[in-house]
Chain A
Amino acid sequence: MNFLAADVPDPTDFPPPADAPGLRALDRSFRCDICGDLYDAPATIACGHCFCSACIRSSLALKQECPSCRKTTNEAHIRPNPALESVISSWKEGRSFVLGLIKREKDRATPSSSADKHTAKKRKRSIDQSSSLDAFGASVAGPSRHAHVLSPRRADSASTTPKPHSRTKKLVPKSNSSADATTIPSSDIDEGEITPPRGAAPKEDALVKCPLCQRRIIYRLLNAHIDNNCKDPTVPSEHNNNNNTAKSSWQKIMSGGGETHSRNGIGQHKGKHKKRDSDSDDEHPLPLSGYTTLKDRQLKDMLTEQGLSVVGNRTIWEQRHQRWVLIFNANLDKSLPNRKTRAELKRDLKKWEDERGKSKKTLVRDTHQYQIDHKDEFARLIEQAKGTKVKQFSVKPQSETGNSHSLPLSSPPSIAHSAHSSAQQGNDVIVVDSEEERLSQRR
């Protein structure tokens, strides 16, 4: 039952229409009919119905009709709705404030018995919201009118709540995700993502060799160049002034000369996808592709072109590329300041893959206990692995493949090895771990 107790904000957070006319309906009207969340990058289609961009794109990929009215439509009809987007971002802030006010009002009306009316869930929820509101009020310390309204209970509750925490979590998802960037171990992200240590990075104006086309590019423009498929970076960015582009094109012409600033081979790969200060080449939506006619090679190229990992089998590649195109295009439907960077999108993609894989993989928490519990299995697997070693793993363990996928690396080397080999063949593994990911990328 614990998933039901989880705090998922929905219109029923507000009192029924009899008590608070319009609020539930208002909150509902700000929600996408597909995912039920507040619109994320709201997009309108030809019939005028509005959905999250990612939601409607997912839906149209399966059936080209409006989910609400079934009128025929397609991806080309999707138009971003910036007005609604700004309404939503304001409502996200106002929502918890309004909920706090309602709570306060109720407490005042029925000082002690109000809690009895609510279910446990509701109680938990409203307490959360009021505390986040307190934090909000306290940390903003802004208009005196608000401070005045909130004053009666501020002193006690503000002292008990850690103040900036809940606010940043609830209201500013962006800062949250950038915090993730520092905590996620670099091995989770494919090799290209690894940011070089500050000291090792070349100077912004230094000339470096493009790892793909081997042309010499100003380091600062390298990412733009790569993202542009190594075509001549026109870089019509607001960040790059004319001076720079002119300089870069001159340097390109002159680049036949010696490798004065060349870096060694290892260094070339580093910083390939260092977070860029310019997303200007990402302005154009990616085309949808039909994958059936593509050869494996082409599909792989398409993935590498986008800087995506090529781990897994063909089905996984297709799904990965399709999802990438979807979230990439959906991201473009956001207004400029709200857009995510490529790196953030890649993290989203990774999360999506992990979530899809989760149902198939079992997560082992207590690795030590797991080893004890499955000692027999391990022993048998070791025997099996020894037996099949000669045959180059041509016979893979039948029943245990599911378990071996989730083996921690700390397990005995031979087991890890057998797990590795079966993981390479297994269809249901998306990403087993970073080491294998790196290994298979080198292949």
Chain B
Amino acid sequence: MDARLRRVNKEITDCKNDKTSQIKIDLFDESPFHLKGSFPGPEGTPYEGGLFEVDIVIPESYPFQPVKMKFITKVYHPNVSSASGAICLDILKDAWSPVLTLKSTLISLQSLLCSPEPNDPQDAEVAKHYMTSKASFEDTATYWTHIYAGGPGAKEKKDKAAGKVTDDEVAIAGLERAHVDRFETLGFQRGKVIDALRRLNYRGPNVTQISDDRVVEELLK
């Protein structure tokens, strides 16, 4: 058994024996070098209550090269691509060190969810959303946690604003339903309106800054 396999084996055993961290590592198939990690969303964040799964690929020169990780679960986070799940985290790139383990890396991902870095974004639209209106961003992140990561989501947390999150598409895009409706009545398709408003980051204080003409222009593109 080569050193890499021995180390992976040890890391999985280590995770199994550690009951406190709540981090799990499972096999996808027979391959020991393609794994599935999972961890609960950190408390006190929009991700609380969700279970986040991560696709782990262990490269040939592990542990001297970083593991490749990306989210399987869709996450609304400035440093995670909302489309592909790709993660922007220094230790997965040039700040990797061979003493880091699968467990410690997954813990780092967990703490990345706690502390987004919008200035070094993976997903620029989400990062803009975060910068523009943190409250609105958090609503959307909570919604995503609810529908994709099995979190308790908006229902319990946001009784007061229940009306806001009834519409899936609008909530996923992190937009206000009223805005979407307004442009839809102008005769545009609902899906197109959502796309355009998302691209323009039509949220929070931006709503007053972006003129309706600008939105229509974007819609007619």
Give residues in A with beta carbon < 8 Å to B. Answer: 1, 3-4, 6, 8, 10, 12, 33-37, 55, 58-59, 62, 65, 67-68, 70, 355-356, 359
B9 at the A interface (CB under 8 A): yes
Chain B's closest residue to A11 (CB) is B14
- B64, A58: Cβ atoms under 8 Å? yes
17 A-B pairs (CB sep. < 8 Å): A1-B30, A3-B5, A3-B32, A4-B32, A6-B9, A8-B1, A8-B10, A10-B10, A35-B3, A35-B63, A36-B6, A58-B64, A62-B64, A62-B65, A65-B97, A355-B2, A359-B60
Residues of A contacting B98 with CB < 8 Å?
33-34, 55, 58-59, 67
* Distance, CA A107 to CA B17, complexed state (A): 22
Residues of B contacting A355 with CB < 8 Å?
2
B133 at the A interface (CB under 8 A): no
Give residues in B with beta carbon < 8 Å to A. Answer: 1-3, 5-7, 9-14, 17, 27, 30, 32, 60, 63-65, 97-99
* Distance, CA A27 to CA B196, complexed state (A): 59
Chain B's closest residue to A58 (CB) is B64
CB distance from A68 to the nearest CB of B (A): 5
- B97, A6: Cβ atoms under 8 Å? no
- B14, A68: Cβ atoms under 8 Å? no
- B97, A35: Cβ atoms under 8 Å? no
* Distance, CA A65 to CA B63, complexed state (A): 15
Residues of A contacting B2 with CB < 8 Å?
355
CB distance from A431 to the nearest CB of B (A): 17
CB distance from B216 to the nearest CB of A (A): 52
Residues of A contacting B27 with CB < 8 Å?
1, 4
**Which one of A1, A12, A356 lies within 8 Å of B13 (CB-CB)?**
A12
* Distance, CA A8 to CA B17, complexed state (A): 14
- A8, B6: Cβ atoms under 8 Å? yes
- A4, B12: Cβ atoms under 8 Å? yes
* Distance, CA A36 to CA B60, complexed state (A): 17
Q: Which of B2, B30, B98 has the most CB of A within 10 A?
A: B98
CB distance from A117 to the nearest CB of B (A): 14
* Distance, CA A255 to CA B98, complexed state (A): 54
- A6, B3: Cβ atoms under 8 Å? no
- A356, B64: Cβ atoms under 8 Å? no
* Distance, CA A70 to CA B95, complexed state (A): 9
CB distance from B76 to the nearest CB of A (A): 32
* Distance, CA A70 to CA B94, complexed state (A): 12
- B99, A68: Cβ atoms under 8 Å? yes
* Distance, CA A37 to CA B7, complexed state (A): 8
- A35, B99: Cβ atoms under 8 Å? no
Chain B's closest residue to A31 (CB) is B10
- B60, A33: Cβ atoms under 8 Å? no
Are A8 and B13 CB-contacts (below 8 A) given A35-B3, A36-B7, A37-B3?
A: yes
- A67, B3: Cβ atoms under 8 Å? no
* Distance, CA A356 to CA B2, complexed state (A): 10
Q: Which 9 A-B pairs have the closest CB atoms?
A: A33-B99, A67-B97, A67-B99, A34-B98, A36-B10, A10-B10, A8-B9, A3-B32, A12-B17
* Distance, CA A119 to CA B65, complexed state (A): 33
Residues of A contacting B65 with CB < 8 Å?
62
**Which one of B12, B32, B60, B63 lies within 8 Å of A34 (CB-CB)?**
B63
- A68, B64: Cβ atoms under 8 Å? no
**Which one of B1, B6, B32 lies within 8 Å of A35 (CB-CB)?**
B6
- B3, A3: Cβ atoms under 8 Å? no
- B9, A3: Cβ atoms under 8 Å? yes
- B99, A37: Cβ atoms under 8 Å? no
CB distance from B200 to the nearest CB of A (A): 42
CB distance from A52 to the nearest CB of B (A): 10
CB distance from B154 to the nearest CB of A (A): 39
* Distance, CA A359 to CA B60, complexed state (A): 9
* Distance, CA A35 to CA B17, complexed state (A): 19
CB distance from B199 to the nearest CB of A (A): 39
* Distance, CA A8 to CA B6, complexed state (A): 7
- B60, A6: Cβ atoms under 8 Å? no
* Distance, CA A55 to CA B6, complexed state (A): 14
Chain B's closest residue to A355 (CB) is B2
Residues of B contacting A62 with CB < 8 Å?
64-65
CB distance from A219 to the nearest CB of B (A): 38
* Distance, CA A68 to CA B99, complexed state (A): 6
Residues of B contacting A34 with CB < 8 Å?
63, 98-99
* Distance, CA A35 to CA B6, complexed state (A): 8
CB distance from A62 to the nearest CB of B (A): 6
CB distance from A349 to the nearest CB of B (A): 14
CB distance from A316 to the nearest CB of B (A): 15
* Distance, CA A34 to CA B10, complexed state (A): 12
Are A12 and B14 CB-contacts (below 8 A) given A6-B9, A33-B99, A34-B99?
A: yes
Chain B's closest residue to A10 (CB) is B10
Residues of B contacting A8 with CB < 8 Å?
1, 6, 9-10, 13
CB distance from B110 to the nearest CB of A (A): 21
- B97, A70: Cβ atoms under 8 Å? yes
* Distance, CA A359 to CA B5, complexed state (A): 13
CB distance from A332 to the nearest CB of B (A): 20
* Distance, CA A62 to CA B61, complexed state (A): 11
Chain B's closest residue to A24 (CB) is B17
- A6, B1: Cβ atoms under 8 Å? yes
Residues of A contacting B1 with CB < 8 Å?
3, 6, 8
* Distance, CA A160 to CA B27, complexed state (A): 36
Residues of A contacting B3 with CB < 8 Å?
35, 37
**Which one of A1, A35, A58 lies within 8 Å of B7 (CB-CB)?**
A35
* Distance, CA A8 to CA B30, complexed state (A): 18
* Distance, CA A371 to CA B10, complexed state (A): 39
Chain B's closest residue to A32 (CB) is B99
* Distance, CA A68 to CA B60, complexed state (A): 22
Residues of B contacting A68 with CB < 8 Å?
97, 99
Residues of B contacting A359 with CB < 8 Å?
60
* Distance, CA A359 to CA B2, complexed state (A): 12
* Distance, CA A174 to CA B47, complexed state (A): 53
